[in-house]
Amino acid sequence: MTWLSEHLIFRRGETAARKLHRPEASLRSKLKGLPPTRNLADALRGGRPAVIAEIKFHSPSQGELRSLRDVEAVAMGYHRAGAAALSVLVDARHFGGEIGFLDRAKAACPLPILAKGFFVDPYDLLEMREAGADAVLLIAQSLTRDELKIMLHTARELGLATLMELHHPEDLAKVDGLDLDLVGVNHRNLDTLEMDAGLSGHLVSSLPVACVKVAESGLKSAADFRRMAELGYDAVLVGTAFMGLPDPGQGLAQLLEECHACR
């Protein structure tokens, strides 16, 4: 059994238990009257590459990144440093996340909030909308094409943007022709947790032209950012490189300063 298959079994059981505890109709009633979501795609079109700064306290590959669960301080620091958006991990297992981190991050700064997790059911997206997400991650490898269609439909119904994440060349066929908002290429293999730094370059020419393009995982230097921009990516998603530092926002600010100095 791979890392991904084991985690998806756990996540499906977790979602099923929450649905029993609070039926979908009850959850939907809580969504009425919520304010509009913040526009993630527009936020990432302001500069190349824009940065989606991630709030992640634990990593499956590196363990504990930050003992404090100081969501507000990290969110504000990222905002001051120049992040275009935030990614917030919500899976507790392997990532130290909580759904409640979404609302805390959103209250702390005006940036769009991407809920990042392994979402397996439309019910998950209802929960994310209620909790303050402006956008959600969808992992192509985790779902069938028909399931992805349903998740995309649900997200649009709720006003959530979607970042469709690809991990393999085979994922391209699965999402071909789907109406996507943003598409991401993640260098990490979810079966083995190993990195393929060349995947972003290999896939970029096959990505939908109109989509906002995001490169993810293993990016930690000005040279990495410059390479992604040269490949044609509009944004990079970075978390691990910052979350292990005493001040994640300062780490982002320093890296962006290095990027500007190279121009």
What per-residue confidence (pLDDT) applies to 262? 66
Work out how many domains the chain is built from and give that number: 1
**Residue 40 falls within a domain, yes or no?**
no
d(CA 135, CA 39): 8
Establish if 146 belongs to a structural domain. Answer: yes
- Is there a domain that residue 45 lies in? no
Token pair 């669960």 is found at 69
What pLDDT is recorded for position 263? 59
Give the residue ranges of DSSP H helices in 64-116: 71-81, 100-108
Q: Are 50 and 86 in contact (CB under 8 A)?
A: no
Q: Which domain holds residue 126?
A: 3-31+50-261
> Tens-of-pLDDT digits for all 263 residues of the chain?
899 999 999 999 999 999 999 999 999 999 988 999 999 999 999 777 999 999 999 998 889 999 999 999 999 999 999 999 999 999 999 899 999 999 999 999 999 999 999 999 999 999 999 999 999 999 999 999 999 999 999 999 999 999 999 999 999 999 999 999 999 999 999 999 999 999 999 999 999 999 999 999 999 999 999 999 999 999 999 999 999 999 999 999 999 999 877 65
Q: How far apart are CA 143 and CA 183, in angstroms?
A: 15
Which pLDDT belongs to residue 47?
A: 72
Question: Which of 99, 155, 154 is CA-nearest to residue 131?
Answer: 99
Q: Is residue 39 part of a domain?
A: no
pLDDT at site 28: 94
On whether residue 73 sits in a domain, the answer given is yes
Q: Find out whether 167 and 139 touch, Cβ atoms under 8 Å.
A: yes
36 assigned to some structural domain: no
CATH of residue 252's domain is: 3.20.20.70
Say if 43 falls within a structural domain. Answer: no
Q: Determine if the pTM surpasses 0.85.
A: yes
**What is the DSSP-derived secondary structure letter of residue 206?**
G
Sign of CA dihedral 229, 232, 235, 237: negative
Here the tokens at position 186 are 């993640």
Q: Is residue 76 part of a domain?
A: yes
